[in-house]
Amino acid sequence: MIKNNDATHACGIMSRLLKNEEGNIIAILAAAVIPVIGLVGGALDMSRLYLTQARLQGACDAGALIGRKTMGVGTWAANGGNADTQAQTLFDQNFEDGAYGSTGLVRSFSETGGNVVGLASASVPMALMQVLGAGSKVVSVRCQAELRIPNSDVMFVLDTTGSMNDPASGSAETKISGLRKAVKCFYEALEKQNITDIAPADCGETSDPSTTNSGGVQLRFGFVPYAINVNVGRLLPLEYMADQWTYQSRAADIVTDPTPSVTYGTESAATSVGTDNIAVANTDWADTSQDIVQNRVTYAWNASTTSTECARLSPPGTRTTTTTGPTEFIAQTPVVPVESDTISTKTYAQDTTTSTRSYRYFFSANSNPKKKGICKLQFRDTAQNIRTSTTQTTTPIIWTRNSYFSGWTYKPVTFNVSSLKDAASNTYRAALQLPLGTNGANMSVSWNGCIEERQTYRGPDNDPSDDWNPIPASAFDMDIDMAPTADAATQWSPMLTAAIWERYLVTDIAGVKTRSATRTLDDVFVGRNDGVNMPVPSSNCPSAARTFQTWTPTDFRNYINELSTGGNTYHDIGLLWGARIMSPTGLFAALNAPDNVTIERHMVFMTDGETNVINDDYASYGVHWYDRRQTPISSAPANSQLNSLTDARSAALCTAIKNKNINLWVVSYGNVGSATNDRLRACATPGKFFEAASVSSLVSNFKAIAAEISALRLTQ
């Protein structure tokens, strides 16, 4: 047997190591170093990769958002590529070159179809994993931002007063022309559709808009042009309009002659009322006075003959005769009519005589015996009867009093205005008939849609600044949502400019009337021959308002181009009806708040100037000087008082609008005073007030509002 010494020696060493544990940890640690480095280094380097990627993504997102926001509704290249510059700058602020040991940083931003896309990458070197031979890793990210318009309702409350015809600052272009341009640019920016009568340069663009809005987006616009009043009447149901209303007008004075005159109508046919028969005694024989002809035989009435010859003559035969006399007027009742009599009765009679007539020849001897006697033909009537027929007729008695137009009394007059309502078609008519024409005749009074407001609050003193916070409960007009009832105080009425007159008159000691320089609340009579006319107040009815609807570019353009201008500046009536028409909980809730549709609501309120209320304007509260519906009756309102009242009401309405979760954008246009701008700034939702001195700045401001309405979103 051969002994293997080496094997024996090796086994001995291992055996001794197993029995002796001193120093073994070194060997174990040395064996474990490499896998530990792999585990710890991999985790550390992976965390650095993930951190770098997260920060790189955040920087990319921030850059894309600021780039898209800077671009707004303009182009990516506008303003020298400022949008790209802003995107790169914000990226660099969020991820510095070399962050986390990265190298080779690359970032870029571009715009496609209105979306801003960012790309960024960096190389991240491995730290501990280098031990295992791992090299640098490239981290890449992509980001995208877009302006996505939510379902939105935008109500334009636009000042269209007379001053809008003035030239805009630094331009020969009128302010209304600039406003038309700005509103169209707003439409293009938000609706992404082209309006043909403005060029891209008008909107600060290089090309016409391209349609990029989502097909499921509901985008609607409404309008309330305002000045002295608002043209909203035809938007209201018929039952919301009063049937009767009192106006500062005039009534015709018709004078009637106190003594009536009488005329008679057509006499009726006669009707029988009775007959009477009277027997008449026989008459004596009487000579005839002419020959009698019977059956073609002539009987001489007087013949000279003897008695014998006379006796032999045959007389005419007996005959019965009937003689009817004329109809004769007998009496009239009443003989002399009075005004209470309406019928005249006349009585007539007619006699009919019947008798039997007999004839004879009678000889009359001559007193001279040498001459013959005379044979005379005689007659007599027997069995005579007179029948009297009585008839009556009636004749209408017509009494008239002569009337004539004597003049006009100028005063408050209550008219029935319900004929403006066409119930059959459920629409309003364009005019009604009122007795205001020549000599008090009816004339056509047109109605173009402007209204007089319902019941308001009459301030207790000449300082209205503290009367409208809070809004008084009796101010039905300031209740945005309250629907009218059958109570006329809750209803509106038509504004009838052609039915309004003021009252200025003085009469001297001689009774001569002239127009004075001083108004009066008294009724004023002006005779038809006085040669005096009463003045009419200043008034204006703007273009018709529109409820929310989607608009084609053509319809939108046509509406804006047809906006009329004129009148003074009453901000409160514009704000009031802008809020009323767009409220989701008021008169038009069915239109404004459809089921299961989320809508963002915006009011864009633009004005070019100061409140300007004149006390003899015919406005939505009547003629201020005469009606005094908002101010104490005891004294005439001053213009300054009415301006203060309008400003206080406007401020209250601004608060009410914002409380309805409506974004209230306010744009001051032109050279507006600082005090007014302070009020307008307070009116606006915080951060949503703009000042535009020129047309270009107005366009820019309207586009900025459109950009803010668009929701900025990260889509990748």
Min mean pLDDT across 175-184, 214-223, 231-240, 454-463 is at 214-223
pLDDT(31) > 60: no
Q: Mean pLDDT, to the nearest integer, of 555-564?
A: 98
User: How far separated are the first and last CA of the chain, in Å rounded?
Assistant: 83
pLDDT(384) > 50: yes
pLDDT score, position 214: 60
Taking the C-alpha atoms of residue 197 and residue 187, their distance in angstroms, rounded to an integer, is 13
Domain 152-238+538-606+621-639+660-714 has CATH 3.40.50.410: yes
Averaged pLDDT score across all residues of the chain? 89
pLDDT score, position 36: 46
Pull the structure tokens for residue 481. 């949502």
> Which tens digit of pLDDT belongs to each residue from 421-434?
999 999 999 999 99
3-state secondary structure of 270: coil
pLDDT score, position 43: 63
Taking the C-alpha atoms of residue 525 and residue 511, their distance in angstroms, rounded to an integer, is 12
pLDDT score, position 514: 79
pLDDT score, position 373: 84
pLDDT score, position 406: 94
Among candidate residues 52, 476, 485, the one with its CA nearest the CA of residue 241: 485
Min mean pLDDT across 258-262, 393-397, 616-620, 694-698 is at 258-262
Share of the chain above pLDDT 70, in %: 90
> Which tens digit of pLDDT belongs to each residue from 620-655?
999 999 999 999 999 999 999 999 999 999 999 999
pLDDT(39) > 50: no
Taking the C-alpha atoms of residue 19 and residue 17, their distance in angstroms, rounded to an integer, is 5
* 511 φψ region: left (φ > 0), alpha (ψ -120 to 50), beta (else): left
**In the block, residue with structure tokens 């809070």:** 470
Which pLDDT band holds residue 25 (cuts at 50, 70, 90)? low
pLDDT(597) > 90: no
Taking the C-alpha atoms of residue 544 and residue 546, their distance in angstroms, rounded to an integer, is 7
> Which tens digit of pLDDT belongs to each residue from 489-548?
999 999 999 999 999 977 777 777 778 888 999 999 999 998 888 999 999 999 999 999
Q: Which residue has the higher pLDDT, 691 or 99?
A: 691
pLDDT score, position 553: 97
Distances from the Cα of 515 to the Cαs of 229, 500, 636, 650, in angstroms?
29, 17, 19, 37
